[in-house]
Amino acid sequence: MVTRVLVVDDDPQLLRALRITLAAQHFSVELAVDGQSALRAVVERPPDVIILDLGLPDLDGVEVLRRIRQRTDLPVIVLSARHETPEKIRALDEGADDYVTKPFGMPELLARLRAAARRAGAMARRRVGMVSTPDFVLDFDRKEALKGDSRIRLTPTEWRLLEVLAAQAGTLVPQRELLQSVWGPGYGSEGNYLRVYANRIRVKLEPDPVRPRYLTTEPGIGYRFDVSPVNEA
């Protein structure tokens, strides 16, 4: 099956180079030169993977990413000349699956593209619809979280982390696997990312975030999301 890639960038030379290179690697390529065109393509001809530049002429790339995330969970690789860490964090928080800075090597981009396509396929095969516990309900299809009668807002990154864990509920998922599944293949040792997001999720969902019942940690090894019933003595 041919992987369909939507490339969003306003640099004609880069678009031409990516179109030729990706086509030679047997990807089906569609090009968009601005944010509005990209959003229309996502709705009318949904790709398998999106490569998105942040510096677009009509809309800020992060805003385009935000609108994409309102419609779909398609993997998005951000391609940008913005090297600053806050920009990367902002893009990842809004739902980017990976972040590649310009200038970049074409072999690296191709490797990240293949990894994103594999992750998307794996997540589709083991997709989680809903998780229901005595303390909260997570609807992964609608991206809705309820705690009692209150609706809880989870960020796109928090949803992705929970979905990876929920797909292997009750199993200890290694840190490296989590980092690469949620943030991309360029990650593997950033345990502080997992600590920060796990703590945010606990505060939002756990009845007692200090003594978590559902999202637990094996320090230095990985995380477990256990939603099985607890037998009260």
The pLDDT assigned to 122 comes to: 58
Give the global pTM.
0.59
Whether residue 9 is found in the same domain as residue 47: yes
Say if residue 95's pLDDT is above 70: yes
24 is written with which tokens? 């030679």
Domain end, chosen from 104, 125, 146, is at: 125
User: Is 231 among the domain residues?
Assistant: no
* C-alpha distances out from residue 218 to 173, 177, 180, 181, 185, Å: 10, 14, 18, 18, 22
108-126 CB burial, b ≥16 within 10 A, e <16: ebeebbebbbebbeebeee
Domain range spanning residue 85?
A: 4-125
- β-strand 222-225 against 150-152: which pairing, if any? unpaired
Whether residue 154 is found in the same domain as residue 59: no
pLDDT tens column, 153-177: 998 889 989 988 988 888 898 988 8
Mean pLDDT, residues 134-155 taken together: 90
Confidence class for position 233, pLDDT limits 50, 70, 90: very low
pLDDT tens column, 26-54: 899 999 999 999 999 988 888 889 999 99
Whether residue 152 is found in the same domain as residue 203: yes
